[in-house]
A and B are shown apart, each in its own frame.
Chain A
Amino acid sequence: MKIIPKYWRSLDHLADTPEFRQWVEREFPSGASEFTDPVSRRHFVRIMSASFLLAGFGLTGCRRPEEKILPFGKAPENYVHGVPQFFATAMPTRSSAIPLVAKSSDGRPTKVEGNALHPDSNGAADRYAQASVLNLYDPDRAMRFVGNGNAVKREAALDFLGEVSKKAQADGGRGLCFLLERSSSPSRARLQKLIGEKFPQARWFIYEPVDFDIHRQAASLAFGKSVTPYYKLDEAKVIVSLDCDFIGGEEDAYINIRRFTKGRKIEKPDDTMNRLYAVEALFTLTGANADHRLRVSSGQVLTVAARLAVEILKQRGGFDEINSAVQSLAGSALANEKWIVECAKDLLANPGKGLVLVGQRQPLAVHLVANALNAALGNAGKTVVFNVVPEAKEGTISDLAQALNAGQVDTLVILGGNPVYNAPADLNWAQTQRKAKTIVRLGYYEDETFAVSGWQLPLAHYLESWGDARTADSTLVPVQPLIEPLFGGVTELETLARIGGLETIKPHDIVRETYRGIAGGNEDNWKRFLHDGYLPGSASKPVETQFNASAAAKAIGAAKPAMPPTKDSLEVVFHRDYKLDDGRYNNNGWLQELPDPITKIVWENVLVMSKKTADDLGLVIRNNENNQLFVPLVKIQVNGRAVDSAGAGRQYSWSGSRLWPPANRPRWTRLRLRRLSSACHDGDAFREWREVGAHRSDTPACHYTRPLDDGRTAAHSGGEFEAVSGQSALRQGDEPRGTAGCSPAVPQPARPAQRKGSAPVGYVHRSECVCRLLGLHGGLSE
């Protein structure tokens, strides 16, 4: 008989089912106790508790760790641990250098400031110099020597340079081409000369995506000898800037700032201030500081310059050839006639105390007009003086592309730069470069060019290198290392010397030898030079110049005025970024974090246009319920080539191996900078640059745009874009209206992309194009 329990705990208990009986018999629910592992749970706990107990007996955590103090065997001179040391050095820039005093904290460079001893710098330094310290410690730097895709030993790579040298020695350097960046280093110039003598058939080329050489080119043409202008802004009473951002984006802006503000300082009651007239398309720092700002499109600056020249030459007389050349460019009266007339009056009222400056973006004709005006007004030799510089004999990257395509290049040596990334798109550089049989590249990152290079050597940072440079006034400055190359990197000088098969290979000895040639062999003077950070009296003496009106008039006459932009043919202006330069500081968080001085944008790339242009193009800001602004991706097509958004064209992450987009890891792409075919304007005078940069937020594979080199437009999937500029806000809207010239093309309406198997992720693609699009209808100031 079944015993019915008096008390029961559950209905199963009462019913006394077989399942219940089984359940009761088991200690754990089925499955839980069925470890197949020979180490049972209980065994594990037993062992662990014993271990903890023993650990407790040992009192390992309570023991005093015995620490060692390791003093020097032989202490370095003047070194006190814990007290920073300071060394004079310089940061080389394209055609100049910034003299610096670098702080070394226990052997690590930690901070740089301007060298106040230098006669021409007034102790100033710019943001690039300040932030360059961070680049030294960039974890994404190229850290290894690579030969044909494999990491090799440093010695093997250097041996290979020796082989290149031997081969060149055998055939006089036939098929040996060097692609360089601009540099003011006398040592490099000397090595180039030595190698040129040794290998007479070797060829030299220079490429800079943002180049300031136009100032030298124009002055040399206008004055008939190889000279470069040097501006004395502090002595100018009337300054006219023709699209020249001389206190922002131009070279040596850090000096110009001090000079310019010196002319604005009022200390006595009868002091007067200088007056700044700015003609510009962008809203720049110079425009923001101007007393009178004239907003015209970039292409129209030539017309304004010509109009100004007509007004001035009418009064001054002479310069007939120039006068006739500018007459045709000046065209009919402009809407801004009155502004120009007043500006001309002011310049005429201050002969010898005015200064006309032209920006690096502007074509040669505008530079020549400005040189003519400075000569006509007697400013040349007073507010702008001319220093003799060596003639540039190097070819351009287009010349190199021609040589490559003609199969004339056996060995291509690329020293610095990233041409695969920022060479003119027309050259199709990635493919063109492959035509060289051997490629040796000295690079700071393992980037796009690295991927197409056979051999790559890591480039040493300037704080790790011996070198030299000349500042704006041609004063010789040393580049001293503060630390051994962190990853065994080599300098440009050493690479050149090894390829040249020269006797002196150590960069220090090369620099020392150059110095000996300039200033003699006195050891004390050399030490003084290193200590003070400049060579006294090495600034070049300005030369007397005679304006060559006929040559200038000929070049001016060859220029054609650009058509004013219309809604259907907009003008795109690509400019040197205030923070990232041409993109070289893209991996620098300090600079990325720095707000743009005009738009206040950080970590972003935007396309800036006037509200009116945006309205005309049907680009409107959408405001969602959370009060977030969304703008669409704007795509710019120029002559069939398109500038696109995040990640576009950036195929390689910094590690050099993974394909873009990297898995789940936020990465910063580098600014993309390419010379566009000059479709926006007639003639090829205008330099347009396209810069695409990107901020990738944590967006796995949200969109991937194909590289742009095939000339087709890139496809986009969704993504939302945030308005980043109060004035510019764009977002998706209508279909593009026409594609003649430049026109923003608008992608499909944005949808929030979804991660696989999860809820919609609310990420925002922040903006994309860095370029500022400035339309017919006005600039930012409205």
Chain B
Amino acid sequence: MSDIFPKWTNRLPLQIAIGALLAGTAVTAGIWYYFTPKYARVGYEPIQPVAFSHAIHADQIGIDCRYCHSAVEKSWYSNIPSASTCMNCHNQVLKDSPKLELVRESAATGKPIPWVQVHKTPDYVYFNHSVHVNRGISCVECHGQINKMDEVHHAKPLSMTFCLDCHRNPGAHLRPPDKITDLNWKWNDDPKIAAELQKQNGDKFVHDWKVQSLQSCSACHR
């Protein structure tokens, strides 16, 4: 009578253990990476109904963010400009461009342009634009270099860790209030000096502006 289990089966438990370990690691790593906002959100770049380029408007022409997003300093909500805001310029510039057909129609009829939402905080998170912008947090901190984007994409994860990293050390991110909407601005071209200046001034801003950077749960999950 031959053996029920051939000899090679002796190594089988070890192989299974190692295999399971590798598979488990792969699954964990996969979930760890792919299920996080870093993967799920960053890079999201929907096609917008109007081919609006921030690169042209903000960078090339140099329009301030607040010309269009005018409520950002006043409200928790940073508004998308109404079509009539666009028409302030575009009734002169490119006034017959077919690309702007939707904008002209919206301004004339009041029918809204269906922009696709890119950045979103969940409903259970309270976020107030005006509080951040008025306390030296630049647009670029959360939205990335919008001024370099033709089609807006999601540049930062906006995860809870992302928020907390900054809330735990706000001094590393604060900048002078007049540089909030200057997305290219740096303390210095030399990163070393820039870091030094950031450290000096950041802590001073935290003190002077009474930056609270709350970390309690109810600060955001109200």
Contact = CB atoms under 8 A, between A and B. Distances in A.
Contacts of B76: 82
Given A74-B107, A74-B110, A69 B80 contact: yes
B112 to A, nearest CB: 4
A66 interface: yes
Nearest to B118: A69
Contact of A81 (B75, B109, B113, B115): B75
Given A80-B71, A80-B75, A83-B75, A68 B84 contact: no
B83 A74 contact: yes
A71 B75 contact: no
Given A66-B46, A66-B116, A80 B79 contact: yes
Contacts of A80: 70-71, 74-75, 79
Given A81-B75, A82-B77, A83-B71, A73 B116 contact: no
Contact of B117 (A68, A73, A74, A82): A68
Interface string B60-89: 000000000011001111011111110000
B6 interface: no
Given A66-B116, A71-B115, A83 B83 contact: no
A720 B111 CA distance: 60
Nearest to B49: A68
Interface in A44-102: 64, 66-75, 80-83
Contact of A70 (B74, B85, B113): B113
Interface in B84-143: 84-85, 106-117, 120
Determine chain A's interface SS by DSSP, over half rule. loop
B71 A72 contact: no
Interface string A518-560: 0000000000000000000000000000000000000000000
B177 to A, nearest CB: 20
Contact of B74 (A71, A74, A83): A83
B185 interface: no
B82 A72 contact: yes
B114 to A, nearest CB: 4
Contact of A67 (B40, B82, B117): B117
A322 to B, nearest CB: 65
Given A80-B75, A81-B71, A82-B77, A71 B46 contact: no
Interface residues of B, number: 29
B162 interface: no
Nearest to A71: B80
Contacts of B111: 73
Given A66-B46, A81-B75, A83-B71, A72 B112 contact: yes
Interface in A683-739: none
Nearest to B105: A73
A397 to B, nearest CB: 48
A365 to B, nearest CB: 60
A81 B116 contact: no
B107 A71 contact: no
Contact of A73 (B71, B83, B115): B83
Nearest to B68: A71
Most buried by A among B76, B79, B107, B116: B79
B116 A67 contact: yes
A70 B112 contact: yes
B84 A82 contact: no
B48 to A, nearest CB: 10
B181 to A, nearest CB: 18
B117 A71 contact: no
A74 B83 CA distance: 6
B44 interface: yes
Nearest to A66: B116
Nearest to A73: B110
B9 to A, nearest CB: 33
Contacts of A66: 46, 116-117
Given A64-B44, A66-B46, A67-B120, A73 B75 contact: no
A566 to B, nearest CB: 62
Contacts of A72: 82-84, 110, 112
Given A67-B116, A68-B115, A73 B74 contact: no
A80 B82 CA distance: 12
A74 B71 contact: no
Contact of B83 (A64, A69, A71, A81): A71
A73 B79 contact: no
Contacts of B108: 73
B71 A68 contact: no
A73 B85 contact: no
Contacts of B112: 70-73
Contacts of B113: 70-71
Contact of B75 (A64, A70, A82): A82
B34 to A, nearest CB: 10
Nearest to B115: A69
A16 B46 CA distance: 74
Nearest to B109: A73
Contacts of B75: 80-83
A240 B135 CA distance: 59
B16 to A, nearest CB: 26
B106 A73 contact: yes
A70 B116 CA distance: 9
Contacts of B83: 71-74
Nearest to B87: A74
Interface in B158-217: none
A361 to B, nearest CB: 48
B152 to A, nearest CB: 12
A73 B107 contact: yes
A152 B106 CA distance: 34
Contacts of A64: 40, 44
Interface string B28-58: 0000000000001000101000000000000
Nearest to B76: A82
22 contacts: A64-B44, A66-B116, A66-B117, A67-B116, A67-B120, A68-B116, A68-B117, A69-B115, A69-B117, A70-B112, A71-B82, A71-B83, A71-B112, A71-B115, A74-B83, A74-B84, A74-B107, A75-B82, A80-B70, A80-B79, A82-B75, A83-B74
Given A71-B115, A81-B75, 17 more contacts: A67-B117, A67-B120, A69-B114, A70-B114, A73-B83, A73-B107, A73-B108, A73-B109, A73-B111, A73-B112, A75-B84, A75-B85, A80-B74, A80-B79, A82-B71, A82-B75, A83-B71
Interface of B: 40, 44, 46, 70-71, 74-77, 79-85, 106-117, 120
Question: Sorted from nearest, which 9 A-B pairs have the closest CB atoms?
Answer: A73-B110, A82-B75, A70-B112, A82-B77, A75-B82, A72-B82, A71-B80, A74-B84, A67-B117
